[in-house]
Amino acid sequence: MARRRAILEAMVWLVFLLWPALLAAQSTSPVFLGRTIPFLPPALDASGRTVVLASAVDASGTTSDTTDLYAAAADGSGLRRLTKLAGISFPPQGVNAVSVTPDGARAAFTASLSAAGRSTEEVHLIDVAAGADRTLAVDTEGCIQPLCANCFFYCVNSPHVSPDGSKVLYAVRRQDPFRVVNADGTGLTRLPVYSGALAPSPQRVISRSGLVTFSSSAPSGPTFAASATDVYILGLDGAQLRNVTQFGSDTSIFTSNATISADGGTVAFERNRANDATQIWIARTDGTGLRALTSGEPSQAPSISADGSTVAFVRAGQVYTVRSEGTGLKALTAFQLSAAQDPVMSDDGLHVVFSLGPRSGGRGAIYAVDTDGKNLRPVYAPRALNRDGVNGVIGFSSPSPGSLLSAYGLNLASDTMTTASRFPLPDSLAGVSLLVNGRPAPLVAVTPWQVNAQLPPEMREGAVAVQLRFADGFQPTPAAAPVQAVAPAIFSDIAGGSCQAAALHGGTATLADREHPAGPGEALEIYGSGLGPADPFVPAGTAAPSSPLARTLQPEVLIGGRSAEVRFAGLTPGFAGLYQVNAIVPAGLRAGAQSVDWRVGGVSAAGCATIWVK
């Protein structure tokens, strides 16, 4: 019995808590986390004291369709909103990239804006202290968008303000991509580069002397000879194009995200060969000293100190630094449930700011840390629910009365997972409560980016208001969620794409998997969610009884597309919100993996689920 319970709990936790991360690794996701809240990589001034960032959520937890610009001190104090831009819901609106001058006085940004019913893409320069915003360029040419539903990318991107604030370099997604414009909006020119890419805006790509670094496979025009993607430098005036790297005709070599030291002597960049992990490389701008700084696990997003002596980067969701001669590799962070991205180093190499988000992807906060690994601190970490971010435990399904639900959001707790340890389930965990129509829902677990709870079984079908409440009294803007009478879903382990259902051989603790296939006529116990209220009634947060059994509507069960005899459907004794269906494996199935489905009122189970038969 103990092993059976352990198997069930493992399957429940695997799907309930780790499903989004597993799906992200497979580049496809039947889980709907809601509309994630735009958060952009942060920009940092030379001293490491001023951070300029962009987000679509304000400090009150109110989300918007438009991403606006903010400034704050690196300790999180003095947060100020710099813009209030007009936008529409799609395509993404507002600021899409930002850089800042070394003195922190000016910030350049690109934005997609709405005016007179049409969308435009613009380049801006804003006075950080006064908030005075000047439009430097408006793009009217556009670019070819990808041929897929709801796909979009910005035509105007990667703004980089020159160290003296007199010019802004930016890119467009067209031939001859690099543009330079003066800080007063005059003198818009194209740099003589046929194709290429700039590093993200917070990284330094312009040295004090006006050297620009970028990556390209054809900087001087179309070529009939195959070549690698190399790193180049060019004067901000368009003169003196030359190679930093020369990887030759090996088209499997790619470089990207090249960033230059302020003294103009050193470039750090990403480099990979097709099918190999991306690593951090470094070279002098005269082409000497080329070497890899990292090896092994993929490493990305380099940021280099002003003198070129230190490089920050991310690996496996952590911020690292390494000396430019390849020594002193050091991890600055040790996140468990979160992942660091987009590190930006101060000129003196003593401070790093970076964005933070769930390991499944996305950003939700800006943090800072000193390069000795101390003083980790939030710069901007608003608490909020994702819009449309409340759903059933698996897939796109809505929650149903008595079932488990997930609420996805930002900065809901510290970087740990707190789980309920006893029944009845608590109304508060880690200082967090989840209110459904004002009523606390019993909590199963709390993480920084997700709260798991049981929807009270007496909730009626229809829209409900879901709101978080924290121990300090803070309550961000509530989210609306639809509740369905039933929302069948089967737990499964999707790691490796197996979709192995939480289906046990009857009365055992053994899964009906490849090593232990089920036979025709055998009874299986299949576990999931969403079959609605039970009889007798089981209060929210309490364990289901074993006598009498709490029964629900009996679903139609299909195994391998064939109808299976159902012996029991109801709540699993000893669990809250866990549903169990006992069914007989039909005869005549082909040996191997077979699909499993629950259907209630014509509604099929969410997600994917398979068992193995012999």
User: How do residues 414-462 score in pLDDT, each as one tens digit?
Assistant: 999 998 889 999 999 999 999 999 999 999 999 999 999 999 999 999 9
What is the model's pLDDT at position 602? 84
What is the model's pLDDT at position 17? 41
E-state strands within 140-264:
156-161, 167-172, 178-182, 189-190, 211-216, 230-235, 242-243, 253-260
Task: Average the pLDDT over 86-115 and give the result.
Answer: 85
Lowest mean pLDDT across 81-90, 346-355, 463-472, 520-529: 81-90
Contact by Cβ (8 Å): 501, 529: no
- Please name which of 180, 48, 36 lies closest in space to residue 108, comparing C-alpha atoms: 180
What is the model's pLDDT at position 492? 83
pLDDT at 601 over 90: no
What is the model's pLDDT at position 115? 64
* Coil, helix or strand at residue 496: helix
pLDDT at 177 over 90: yes
Lowest mean pLDDT across 28-32, 52-56, 165-169, 409-413: 28-32
User: Considering just the CA atoms, what is the radius of gyration of the chain in Å?
Assistant: 27
Lowest mean pLDDT across 165-174, 385-394, 562-571, 582-591: 385-394
Q: Torsion angle of alpha carbons 257, 262, 266, 268, nearest 10°? A: -20
CA angle 302, 354, 209 (to 5 degrees): 50
Lowest mean pLDDT across 104-118, 307-321, 371-385: 104-118
What is the model's pLDDT at position 508? 86
- Please name which of 519, 502, 499 lies closest in space to residue 511, comparing C-alpha atoms: 502
pLDDT at 26 over 50: no
pLDDT at 43 over 90: yes
What is the model's pLDDT at position 126? 98
Share above pLDDT 70 across residues of the chain, in percent, rounded to a whole number: 90
CA distance linking residue 340 with residue 487, whole number of Å: 35
pLDDT band at 1 (very low <50, low <70, confident <90, very high): low
Residue 296 is classified by DSSP as S
Contact by Cβ (8 Å): 467, 551: no
Contact by Cβ (8 Å): 560, 595: yes
Containing 446, the helix (H) or strand (E) segment is strand 443-446
User: At residue 14, what are phi and psi to the nearest 5 degrees?
Assistant: -60, -45
Helix/strand/coil (H, E, C) string of 315-348? ECCEEEEEECCCCCCEECCCCCCEEEEEEEECCC
What is the model's pLDDT at position 237? 95
What is the model's pLDDT at position 226? 75
What is the model's pLDDT at position 274? 81
Contact by Cβ (8 Å): 107, 125: yes
pLDDT at 73 over 60: yes
Q: Which two tokens stand for residue 577?
A: 């919100």
Q: Which two tokens stand for residue 79?
A: 């947060």
Q: Which sign does the torsion angle of CA 212, 214, 217, 222 carry? A: negative
Q: Which two tokens stand for residue 519?
A: 């036979």
Q: In the sheet that 377-380 helps form, which strands lie side by side, from edge to edge?
A: 338-345, 351-358, 365-370, 377-380
Tokens 């309550």 -> residue: 475
Amino acid symbol at 38: P
Q: Which sign does the torsion angle of CA 184, 190, 192, 197 carry? A: positive
Lowest mean pLDDT across 221-225, 483-487, 493-497: 493-497
Task: Average the pLDDT over 65-88 and give the result.
Answer: 91
What is the model's pLDDT at position 261? 98
**83 beta partners:** none
CA distance linking residue 552 with residue 562, whole number of Å: 22
List of residues 6+ apart from 510 with CB closer than 8 A: 7, 504, 516
What is the model's pLDDT at position 29? 32
Contact by Cβ (8 Å): 444, 453: yes
Task: Average the pLDDT over 115-129 and give the result.
Answer: 85
CA distance linking residue 3 with residue 550, whole number of Å: 23
CA distance linking residue 613 with residue 512, whole number of Å: 8
CA distance linking residue 174 with residue 363, whole number of Å: 28
What is the model's pLDDT at position 30? 32
What is the model's pLDDT at position 149? 56
Lowest mean pLDDT across 144-158, 174-188, 393-407: 144-158
What is the model's pLDDT at position 275? 82
pLDDT band at 398 (very low <50, low <70, confident <90, very high): confident
What is the model's pLDDT at position 520? 96
Amino acid symbol at 79: L
**215 beta partners:** 197, 231
E-state strands within 21-153:
43-44, 50-57, 63-73, 80-81, 93-100, 106-115, 118-127, 133-139
CA distance linking residue 612 with residue 614, whole number of Å: 7
pLDDT at 32 over 90: no
What is the model's pLDDT at position 87? 59
- Please name which of 425, 482, 416 lies closest in space to residue 453, comparing C-alpha atoms: 425
pLDDT band at 78 (very low <50, low <70, confident <90, very high): very high
Q: Which two tokens stand for residue 187?
A: 């003198």
Q: Is 141 exposed, middle or buried (0-12, 13-18, 19+ CB in 10 A)?
A: exposed
Q: Which two tokens stand for residue 281?
A: 């490389």
Which residue has better confidence, 117 or 41?
41
pTM of the shown model: 0.91
pLDDT at 36 over 80: no
pLDDT band at 31 (very low <50, low <70, confident <90, very high): very low
Task: Average the pLDDT over 525-531 and give the result.
Answer: 92
What is the model's pLDDT at position 495? 54
Contact by Cβ (8 Å): 178, 198: yes
317 sits in the region (left: phi over 0; alpha: psi -120 to 50; else beta) called: left
pLDDT at 35 over 80: no
CA distance linking residue 269 with residue 213, whole number of Å: 10
Total residue length of the chain: 614
pLDDT at 27 over 60: no
**250 beta partners:** none
List of residues 6+ apart from 35 with CB closer than 8 A: 386, 387, 388, 389
Average pLDDT, the chain: 90
